[in-house]
Amino acid sequence: MYICDMSNPLDRDIQFLHGVGPKKAALLNKELNVRTFGDLLRIYPFRYVDKSKVYSIRELTPDMAYVQIRGKIISVQTMGTSPRSQRLSAIATDGSGTMEIVFFHGIKWMKDKLKPGTEYIFFGKISEFNGVLNMVHPEIEPVENAAFSSEYPLMGIYPGTETLKKNGMGSKAISKLVLSAIVETSNCIHETLPGYILKKEELIDLKSAICNIHFPKSLHLLSEAKRRLKFEELFYLQLSLLKQKYLRKTRGKGIKMPKVGAKFNYCYSKLPFPLTEAQKRVIREVRNDMAGGKQMNRLLQGDVGSGKTAVAFLCSLIAIGNGFQACIMAPTEVLAEQHFNSAEGFFDGCGISIALLTGSTKSKEKKEILERLADGSIDLIIGTHALIEDNVAFRALGLAIIDEQHRFGVKQRSMLWKKSDPPPHILVMTATPIPRTLSMTVYGDLDVSVIDELPPGRKPVKTIHITEKNRRNMYAFLKSQIKAGRQAFIVYPLIKESEKMDYKNLEQGFMSIVEEFKAPEYVVAVVHGKQKNEDKAYDMNLFASGKAHILVATSVIEVGVNVPNASVMVIESAERFGLSQLHQLRGRVGRGSDMSYCILVTGHKLSKESRERIDLMCSTQDGFELAEADLKMRGPGDIEGTQQSGTIIDLKIANPVKDNELLEEARRMAASVLEYDPDLTSPSNKVLGANLKNIKDEIKDFSNIS
């Protein structure tokens, strides 16, 4: 990643590494994204095994993971009839007990290789099948060949895939390749951090770090190597983000919007509710940014239901009042339409022209909208991805608001940015509370505003966990709520990998709901991703207007739908949703002043982790608490939103949650470097500038937006 000139062996194509060749190179490329010698060096082991330790079979337990056993083969047998079900089963003993060795591939070859009576070292993962301990596809070496190295007691286990393993590139093979790569490049591993940083942070140099992360000489050196490499990643990440911010704030161009304008004041005066203090504060922050003459790049975090829409609308009026246009981009058509509908009411009488542009806007209408955007006769456009298409041009876009930003990829955001010069002010709004640690990593360059207060009168949502056997009671409860004039959501999971099954579940669910809640007494609407947009809008309206009692949906409704009369949210197969998703869904109810309910339906048997999630949902409503817990349980890579947007740099070894202290340290260091040398031109910082440029080349578009 941080590697410069072309004559550098680190940049050499991986196929030229001893033992690789074109075929393996293609695999390494595809499976591990390794293209050069340098890339290979940056594939780090994810765990280490103490090779000096040999276990006896009697000591083994199925939770032991990787171990080394020394034993004799007593029998070798091929089991199963069809080629697909065939496996090779060998029994090994070391005197203390016996263990099965299993092979599903390369059976013939293995059968010849394994000699009964010979003593081997088996190295692999212990698992249990039908109560018998076994090792599947272990590494095997006759005892006389095995090296019990005392110089390198710890052996790294490399990440891999089935495909790699099948092609003879298991962890051990990769380790060998890494060793040759180190040998061939060791004189060219140049330090990426200035000496004064190494000294101040007490870090070991890059070359020792690379050697010790792969072939640790001791536990101590391993932990030093890890610390050094983690720091490097986090430091460059922060340096890049902070530099971006610094440039924007000092040298960036921005549109100056000095006044609030009469339109803002008019709408403000006729708001149907007083704004919360938090909403007012955020509007002030935005106003200051927009008046300052530099481009605003602000993230607005506010829990579901905190009233971000009103803030977005009022901010749009500032841009419009200064003679510019504004746009609001939503992740789904349903949501864009909903915003459009509420905008019509909100801006009533203030004399601005609003339009809606989505994928299903008819082409004649679209043409007209595009013309009116270009000539400036539309003040505010609300829409979906359709807004960022190339043919959408504005007369003067002054503010771009992105709602529920985690649904948008990074590239898409940068396209909005480019629709005006100087670039429009940007406000990204998210309901996913992002813990500080993570926001420092992912959005380190954005200014952050938080709406930390809900509008008054909201009642907490009573959250209940039930299983299948309570289903009848749940239906009875829904009926009583409907009788009292309320409405209910019933949501089914939709996970990409099992989409087909999910739709089947939804379909079956819908059928049984219709069966239970019979027409004409009950009206049941349904929305899901496979519908035509018109049908979706129709059913959505049916529910939003109160004509339908129940809305059966996939998680498409998760973002932003506002139906204050809905008082029950039923989440089917709740164990399949992540915490923040559950929280988002729950946020769809509890918007009116009535008591509302969230019912989590799960199977009877739950994994420990699912149970934790469900219990947590039942015990707290605090979005931040849930987000922190989610982060701890799943790790940052999985947090909604960050997966798509990703961090600027693909973090290979650092984990912003677990390595929180190091992250803070790296950020402080990056800030202080930039404070004294913002252009990174001093001789000692040159190396930082050069490496940063390399990173930027990889991520071109990203650096623009967040």
Q: Which residue ranges make up the site for ligand ADP (CB under 6 A)?
A: 273, 275-276, 279, 302, 304-310, 431, 455, 560, 562, 564, 591
Which residues lie below 8 Å from residue 576, measured CB to CB, with a gap of 6+? 493, 495
Closest CB to ligand ADP among residues 392, 491: 491
In this structure, the number of other CB atoms found within 10 A of the CB of residue 187 comes to 8
The candidate with the shortest Cα–Cα distance to 40, out of 213, 193, 162, 163, is 213
In this structure, the number of other CB atoms found within 10 A of the CB of residue 50 comes to 13
From Mg ion, ligand ADP, none, interface partner of 302 (C-beta below 5 to 8 A by class): ligand ADP
From Mg ion, ligand ADP, none, interface partner of 667 (C-beta below 5 to 8 A by class): none
Closest CB to Mg ion among residues 9, 560: 560
Query: Please, what is the minimum distance in Å from the beta carbon of residue 538 to ligand ADP?
Result: 22
The candidate with the shortest Cα–Cα distance to 213, out of 225, 196, 227, is 225
CA distances from 416 to 392, 560, 648, 704 (A): 10, 21, 19, 11
Closest CB to ligand ADP among residues 348, 421: 348
By CB under 5 A, which span of 67-75, 386-394, 557-565, 629-637 interacts with Mg ion?
557-565
Closest CB to ligand ADP among residues 621, 647: 621
The candidate with the shortest Cα–Cα distance to 467, out of 350, 602, 592, 347, is 602
Query: Please, what is the minimum distance in Å from the beta carbon of residue 159 to ligand ADP?
Result: 39
Closest CB to ligand ADP among residues 189, 561: 561
The candidate with the shortest Cα–Cα distance to 552, out of 565, 568, 533, is 568
Query: Please, what is the minimum distance in Å from the beta carbon of residue 37 to ligand ADP?
Result: 50
Closest CB to ligand ADP among residues 254, 623: 623
Pairing, β 325-329 against β 354-357? unpaired
By CB under 5 A, which span of 229-237, 339-347, 553-561, 666-674 interacts with Mg ion?
553-561
DSSP for 195-258 reads HHHHHHHT---HHHHHHHHHS-SSHHHHHHHHHHHHHHHHHHHHHHHHHHHHHHHHT-------
Whole-number Å distance between alpha carbons of 591 and 611: 27
From Mg ion, ligand ADP, none, interface partner of 306 (C-beta below 5 to 8 A by class): ligand ADP
Backbone φ and ψ for 333, nearest 5 degrees, come out as: -65, -40
Whole-number Å distance between alpha carbons of 326 and 416: 11
Query: Please, what is the minimum distance in Å from the beta carbon of residue 428 to ligand ADP?
Result: 13
From Mg ion, ligand ADP, none, interface partner of 562 (C-beta below 5 to 8 A by class): ligand ADP
Residue whose C-beta lies closest to Mg ion: 560
Q: Are 425 and 319 in contact (CB under 8 A)?
A: yes
Query: Please, what is the minimum distance in Å from the beta carbon of residue 303 to ligand ADP?
Result: 7
Query: Please, what is the minimum distance in Å from the beta carbon of residue 584 to ligand ADP?
Result: 9
Residue whose C-beta lies closest to ligand ADP: 307
CA distances from 100 to 65, 123, 308 (A): 15, 13, 60
The candidate with the shortest Cα–Cα distance to 312, out of 433, 378, 398, 401, is 401
Closest CB to Mg ion among residues 71, 560: 560
Closest CB to Mg ion among residues 424, 560: 560
Query: Please, what is the minimum distance in Å from the beta carbon of residue 58 to ligand ADP?
Result: 59
Whole-number Å distance between alpha carbons of 638 and 406: 13
Query: Please, what is the minimum distance in Å from the beta carbon of residue 279 to ligand ADP?
Result: 6
**Site map (CB under 5 A) of Mg ion, residues 269-308, x = contact:** ----------------------------------------
Closest CB to ligand ADP among residues 339, 667: 339
Whole-number Å distance between alpha carbons of 382 and 283: 20
From ligand ADP, Mg ion, none, interface partner of 304 (C-beta below 5 to 8 A by class): ligand ADP
Q: Which of 560, 623, 641, 656 binds Mg ion (CB under 5 A)?
A: 560
SS3 656: coil
Asked if 9 touches Mg ion (CB under 5 A), the answer is no
Give me the long-range contacts of 343-351 (CB less than 8 A, separation at least 24): 343/313, 343/380, 343/382, 346/267, 346/310, 346/313, 347/267, 347/313, 347/380, 349/266, 349/270, 350/263, 350/266, 350/267, 350/317, 351/263
User: DSSP character for 20?
Assistant: -
Closest CB to ligand ADP among residues 306, 405: 306
Query: Please, what is the minimum distance in Å from the beta carbon of residue 403 to Mg ion?
Result: 6
Total residues belonging to the chain = 706
By CB under 5 A, which span of 55-63, 87-95, 291-299, 560-568 interacts with Mg ion?
560-568
Query: Please, what is the minimum distance in Å from the beta carbon of residue 404 to ligand ADP?
Result: 8
User: Residues in the site for Mg ion, rule: CB under 5 A?
Assistant: 560
